[in-house]
Chain A
Amino acid sequence: MNYSKPKFKEKYGNFINGKFEAPDDGEYFDNHSPIDNKLLAKYPRSKESDVKKAIEAANNAKDAWGKTSVGERSAMLMKIADVIEANLNEFAQMETADNGKAIRETVNADVPLAVDHFRYFASVIRAEEGSATELNENTVSLIIREPLGVVAQIIPWNFPLLMLAWKVAPALASGNCVVLKPAEQTPASATFLAEKIADILPPGVFNVIHGFGPEAGKPLASSGRVDKVAFTGETTTGQLIMQYASKNLNPVTMELGGKSPNVFFSSIMDHDDDFLDKCIEGAVLFAFNQGEVCTAPSRLLIQEDIYDAFIEKVIARTEAIKMGDPFDMNTMMGAQASNDQHEKILSYIEIGKEEGAKVLTGGAAMKLEGDLSKGFYIQPTILKGHNKMRVFQEEIFGPVLAVCTFKDEAEAIEIANDTLYGLGAGVWTRDAHQLYQVPRAIKAGRVWVNCYHDYPAHAPFGGYKKSGFGRENHLMMLNHYRQTKNMLISYDKKKLGFF
């Protein structure tokens, strides 16, 4: 199949109460593709009044939606999954046009994972049970889960559809209504999804508001009429959203990124086999999604006795990354999502060089031909340095790998944990003891062992330290979107005796 930029309408609306609506003040913003910086479409520049309408719609829908049976909700989520799957190529093309990532990733990862996510939560709610405990012969405790009500969700631009699925599927499955604000760089797939599923969900259950953080995000996050705020993004906005939530005494969950270590022990080079080949790819996964992944393995830690031999293979594999038209199935790495990200990444490469990091490969913007010359491309870059350098400590969110060496297990763990963050980590070894002990010693919510960048719906994902709190994926996610109702029932006819 040949992929290309899909057709967009001139402009789109917010999705409120089951219908598309123009913003109250008639203002729109231009959404450009990072592939060639050309205009894709206009989206609403919503303000507080639009946000309030969406919150109102969700509040009006929440009682009836909260009472639907799990069977009904499950059937609707299954239909949503089917609709995404039936339009897989269209969703993938839209995602590639909007975000800049390579079509081989949207076709094979972003969209199928989103489909699976809806199916997982549609299924798991039907197998769930509450609990009943006889506390003594006359007293029974029933635990019943109830939806929170209205959930505000603010999602990022790196996996627009998949991050939507991660947040929306469990929230709807648990019986909540949603007001979603997609990132302003990537409004396309959420809007396309709303178009496709408008007839599946009752009006007001799923609402999409577009606009800018200070104008639309803030009134959504600070509203006293939402019952929870879920956010993926950076730390300052995370703090701000928690402050707003504290005024409303609302629960929040936060996913705030990381600077994930990817640790390779000597034993990986004991044999030249498939596993070693997998290890090399595992190190090069820093370039997956142009490095715009919260868990990007952006710190590569290699045991010093294999450093020269292993890094040579990693550099060779990195230099084989094919860049070009993101709509070409052979292109491995596409455009960075926006001009400001592009600038930020280049400024990090500069400070890395100034701090004394050695450029092993890449180290500059990538110049492509024709229309692509106006897009935002960066060469996959490897910098050799030490863990105190800023390129080892800050999330660059680009295809920039910082590599250092370690002597032994103790030093590997020390370096891995010398970071403000704790979202992801990778450990690669043939040693059975290291396989268990090293991941346990790393302070991160997800440690991939002899693999990386796998995101199954039924494995919990989330951060330690400044990477946030709360989890996504897995059925435990349902309880981040529910209250616990305890009914304590007495079957005793006798009074207590106090009065």
Chain B
Amino acid sequence: MEFNRVEITEEAALIVEQLKQQHGEVIFHQSGGCCDGSSPMLLPKEDFYIDDNDILLGEVAGVPFYMSHDQFEYWKHTHLTVALTNGRGASFSLEIPLGKRFIIKSRLLKEEEINFLNK
């Protein structure tokens, strides 16, 4: 059986599709820190510099989901779901003007998932 580290809700995926139409290729990058930190940011692919310091956790709605390596060390035992809520978030994330905000729902990875993902 296949497992993944990150998924997306149907509602959030619809907004991602809408924003892809508007902005072209996009990526998710998990933020940390102050204010609107600890939330995923959806950014134009060309805008954000990704390198070996970032880990690709998977793809959701056809969009790669990245997190910085050192942050992943503290997150790697959890499974993430990109969800959507109403709200006026700050940050440069592309959904902000819609009055929507992507947020992360987390749960612990099960043993079989950890075995699969770390093999």
Residues of A near any B CB (own CB < 8 A): 29, 31-32, 45, 156-158, 183-185, 212-215, 217-218, 232-240, 243, 255-258, 292, 294, 338-341, 343-344, 347-348, 350-351, 354-355, 388, 390, 393-397, 420-421, 466-467
Q: Are A339 and B85 in contact (CB under 8 A)?
A: yes
| 16 residue pairs A–B, Cβ–Cβ below 8 Å | A31-B88, A212-B96, A213-B91, A214-B97, A233-B36, A234-B32, A235-B32, A236-B32, A237-B31, A237-B41, A340-B86, A340-B87, A340-B88, A343-B85, A343-B103, A395-B38
Q: Complex Cα distance A354/B103, Å?
A: 18
User: Which B residues are CB-close (under 8 A) to A217?
Assistant: 92
* CB nearest neighbor in A for B32: A235
Q: What is the minimal beta-carbon distance from B80 to any residue of chain A, in angstroms?
A: 10
User: B34 near A258 (CB under 8 angstroms)?
Assistant: yes
**With an 8 A cutoff between CB atoms, is B116 at the interface?**
no
CA of A184 to CA of B35, assembled, Å? 12
Which one of B35, B78, B101, B103 contacts A397 once the chains associate, using CB atoms below 8 Å? B35
A238 touches B33 (CB 8 A): yes
Q: How far is the CA of A157 from the CA of B101 in the complex (A)?
A: 16
Q: How far is the CB of A82 from chain B (nearest CB, A)?
A: 30
- A351 and B33 contact, Cβ closer than 8 Å, known pairs A212-B96, A215-B97, A344-B38: no
Number of interface residues of B (CB under 8 A): 41
How far, in angstroms, from A21 to B96 measured CA to CA in the complex?
A: 23
Residues of B within 8 A of A (CB): 29-39, 41, 43, 47-49, 68, 70-71, 74-75, 78, 85-94, 96-97, 101, 103-108
A contact face: mostly helix, strand, loop, or mixed? mixed
A232 and B41 contact, CB distance less than 8 A: no
User: Which residues on the A side are within 8 Å of B35 (C-beta)?
Assistant: 156-158, 183, 232-234, 257, 292, 294, 397
CB-CB under 8 A from A466, the residues of chain B are 32-33, 70
Name which residue of chain B comes closest to A181, CB basis: B90
B33 touches A257 (CB 8 A): yes
Least CB distance, A236 to chain B, in whole angstroms: 4
List B contacts of A350 (CB < 8 A). 105-106
Closest to B94 in A: A214
Supposing A232-B35, A234-B37, A239-B48 touch, asked if A340 and B94 sit within 8 A by C-beta, the answer is no
Q: Of A233, A292, A348, A355, which is within 8 A of B90 by CB?
A: A233
Taking CB atoms, residues of chain A closer than 8 Å to B29 are 236
A270 shortest CB reach to chain B, Å? 35
B31 touches A236 (CB 8 A): yes
Select which of A32, A236, A339, A340 is within 8 A of B41 by beta carbon.
Answer: A236
Verify A420–B71 contact, CB threshold 8 A. Answer: yes
| Nearest 3 CB-CB pairings of A with B | A257-B34, A340-B87, A234-B37
Other A-B pairs beyond A243-B49, A395-B38, 12, CB < 8 Å: A234-B91, A235-B37, A338-B87, A339-B88, A340-B39, A341-B89, A347-B105, A348-B38, A394-B32, A394-B37, A395-B32, A397-B35
Interchain CA distance A381-B47 in the complex, whole Å? 38
Give the docked Cα–Cα distance between A333 and B114 (Å): 40
Taking a contact as CB atoms under 8 Å apart, the answer to whether B97 and A395 are in contact is: no
Do B106 and A213 have beta carbons less than 8 Å apart?
Answer: no
Residues of A within 8 A of B31 (CB): 234-237
